[in-house]
Amino acid sequence: MKKEANQGDKPKTLITCGGNTLDSYDRFVIVVNKRSPEQIQYLHFLSKLKLFCVLDFDPDSVALGGLCQSYRESRVANLHLPSQFQGQTETLIKELNLYLQTSWVFCNGRHDLDGNRNNEVDYRNWLRKTCRDVEQLVSLICNPDVFLNGRCLITFLLLSSVDTEKDPVFDTYKSFIKHTGM
C-alpha cells in the first residue's frame, strides 16, 4: 500500500516559495466572501500580513463580529467601494493612500451605509451595477505601475461555498486571471 505525502505541505511549499515564511512577498491581496461568526477567530493572522487591499464580498463585514471590524481592532484600514478606484493610477495612489494603509473594498455592498446603492445585490444586478467597477479595480491592482518593485500574493479566502459560475467571487477570479496573464 502506497502512503501519500502530507497534502498540507504542497500548498505551503507553493505559497512560501519553498520556505517556512511569507517573506518572499512585499504585499498581499485578499479576496474574501461571506464568513460565519465562528470563523473569525481563525482569521486573526490577516493582521500580521502587509495587506495592500482586501476585496470583501460580505456586506456585513464591517459590523460587529465581521472580518473587517475584527481587522480594524488592531490595524488601520481605509474603507472603499470599487467605484472609488476610477481614474489615473498616480492620482488614485495618492488620494486613496494605497501604500500607507490597507484598502478594504466592499465589492457587494455595505449594510452599515444608508442608500440603495450600498445594498447587497443578486448576481444579475451585480453584473449590471458593480462588475465593471470590480474589473477596473482588479486591473489597477495588477498594473505593473502599482507594484513597481517586489512581489504580491493574491489569495482567495473562500469562507463560504462558491457553487456556481454565477457568483461575483468567480467573476473576480476570472478578472485576476485575465489581468495577471496566467
The pLDDT, as a whole number, for residue 148 is 59
The pLDDT, as a whole number, for residue 51 is 92
Task: Please return the burial class of 139, using the count of CB atoms within 10 Å of its CB with bins 0-12, 13-18 and 19+.
Answer: middle
The pLDDT, as a whole number, for residue 76 is 92
The pLDDT, as a whole number, for residue 81 is 93
Instruction: Report d(CA 108, CA 120) in Å as an integer.
Output: 5
Beta carbons of 113 and 79 less than 8 angstroms apart: no
Q: Calculate the CA dihedral of residues 58, 147, 12, 43 and round it to 10 degrees.
A: -30
The pLDDT, as a whole number, for residue 23 is 72
Q: Identify the CA nearest to 139 among candidates 101, 82, 68.
A: 82
Beta carbons of 130 and 168 less than 8 angstroms apart: yes
DSSP H/E element including 172: helix 168-180
Task: Please return the burial class of 104, using the count of CB atoms within 10 Å of its CB with bins 0-12, 13-18 and 19+.
Answer: buried
The pLDDT, as a whole number, for residue 6 is 55
The pLDDT, as a whole number, for residue 7 is 56
The pLDDT, as a whole number, for residue 62 is 92
Beta carbons of 56 and 28 less than 8 angstroms apart: no
Instruction: Report d(CA 180, CA 159) in Å as an integer.
Output: 24
Q: What's the pLDDT tens digit per position in 83-97? A: 999 999 989 989 998
Where along the chain do its domains lie?
27-180
- Report the predicted TM-score, pTM, of the whole model to 2 decimal places: 0.87
The pLDDT, as a whole number, for residue 10 is 66
Q: Calculate the CA dihedral of residues 129, 132, 136, 138 and round it to 10 degrees.
A: 90
Lookup: cell for 63: 459590523
The pLDDT, as a whole number, for residue 137 is 95
Instruction: Report d(CA 100, CA 81) in Å as an integer.
Output: 18
The pLDDT, as a whole number, for residue 75 is 93
> Which residues of the chain fall below pLDDT 50?
none
